[in-house]
Amino acid sequence: MNKVKIFLISLIFFLNLQINSYSKTIPSSFADLAERLLPSVVNISTTTTVTTQSNPFPFQFPPGSPFEDMFKEFGTPQERQSAALGSGFIIDEKGIVITNNHVIQGADDIIVRVDGDKEFKAKVIGADPLSDIAVLQLETKEKFKPVKFGDSDKARIGDWVIAIGNPFGFGGTVTSGIISARNRSIGLSRYEDYIQTDASINSGNSGGPLFDMNGDVIGINTAILGRSGSIGIGFSIPSNNAKIVIDQLIEFGETKRGWLGVRIQDVTQEIADIEKLDKPRGALVASVAKDSPSDKGGIKEGDIILEFDGQAIQEMKQLPAIVAKTKVGKKSKSENLER
């Protein structure tokens, strides 16, 4: 009987440990974290002047009519103001703000609201449409509370994350979720390596931060799937990729990306079989620009690049992203399969 009691007590103790261990991985509340981070997340509003041609005739030409373009020049140019909303976050106490390029692109005026009620004008330090990142400077001498970047390479599928932003103009909105997937490409920009999350992201969240449970920025919320609003699939630029661009924009006002000088295409199953690869992988070189780094390095048309700068190329789309992150002027080795 004593042995049975000891066994039951031991079992209960073991189950207790398991439950406590599991519960530690589930946040009981995001309140403390949100309270600490909210002052560093900003709301961005922009105004843009849009010029349109008014129709001088009391009727409309049918779509595609040759007369539509012919008589367009007779219209009177009319200007109107267009407003847009977005989000951002402060990375320096002097008021350096990070957001998406599409949030501020073409804007005449940029107003940044900090901590709910303080408004400041902002100027663009630098912007990069290819990665959809922009850096702003608040025009004030005030000091601000910044957040810091985390290591997005350490973020794992299933990790808890929170997003803070300005969806539909409702500033200071906090949503939570997990990392749903990594290394997503959705065809929005040239250099894509998105973190996918199910934390609710809507129109106006663009440019806002995606935080890990340490309160570090591991992503910049950039896109949603579907136009009707959040359906649990949002995309963020990984912080490690973004930081390379941000540092260059702050230092130079523009980006300085690595360049190989090759046109590439996917390696098909047929090509993999011919070249005796274990599976379709790498990037097939379709052409090489004359006097480019690739040309000088001996890369030939028909080669398959399997590795660049120590990183394996599993899919063709990985190569441009890896090369773009490589410092200009750096000597990098590549593993090529010559055809």
What CATH number is associated with residue 229? 2.40.10.120
**Residue 327 pLDDT > 80:** no
Asked if residue 270 is part of any domain, the answer here is yes
If asked whether residues 246 and 112 sit together in one domain, one would say yes
If asked whether residues 267 and 251 sit together in one domain, one would say no
Domain end among 208, 237, 256? 256
**Residue 20 pLDDT > 60:** no
Asked if residue 209 is part of any domain, the answer here is yes
Asked if residue 266 is part of any domain, the answer here is yes
Cα(131)–Cα(61) distance, integer angstroms: 39
If asked whether residues 184 and 150 sit together in one domain, one would say yes
* Residue 186 binned pLDDT confidence (cut-offs 50, 70, 90): confident
**Residue 242 pLDDT > 80:** yes
If asked whether residues 268 and 131 sit together in one domain, one would say no
If asked whether residues 272 and 244 sit together in one domain, one would say no
Domain end among 224, 256, 288? 256
Asked if residue 75 is part of any domain, the answer here is no
If asked whether residues 249 and 317 sit together in one domain, one would say no
> Residue 283 sits in a domain of what CATH number?
2.30.42.10
Tokens of 39: 């002052």
If asked whether residues 125 and 268 sit together in one domain, one would say no
If asked whether residues 274 and 248 sit together in one domain, one would say no
Of 39 and 28, the structure prediction assigns the larger pLDDT to: 39
Asked if residue 23 is part of any domain, the answer here is no
Select, from the ranges 31-35, 190-194, 227-231, 321-325, the one with the highest average predicted confidence (pLDDT). Answer: 31-35
Asked if residue 22 is part of any domain, the answer here is no
Domain end among 227, 256, 285? 256
If asked whether residues 284 and 204 sit together in one domain, one would say no
pLDDT of residue 49: 77
Count of domains forming the chain: 2
Please, are residues 166 and 86 in contact by the beta-carbon 8 Å criterion? yes
pLDDT of residue 19: 45
Active-site residue set? 102, 132, 206
pLDDT of residue 22: 44
> Residues near 318 by Cβ (< 8 Å), separated by ≥ 6?
283, 311
Structural domain of 214 = 30-67+82-256
If asked whether residues 207 and 290 sit together in one domain, one would say no
pLDDT of residue 201: 93
If asked whether residues 195 and 318 sit together in one domain, one would say no
If asked whether residues 86 and 159 sit together in one domain, one would say yes
Q: What is the mean pLDDT of residues 110-127?
A: 94
Asked if residue 267 is part of any domain, the answer here is yes
Please, are residues 211 and 37 in contact by the beta-carbon 8 Å criterion? yes
Asked if residue 218 is part of any domain, the answer here is yes
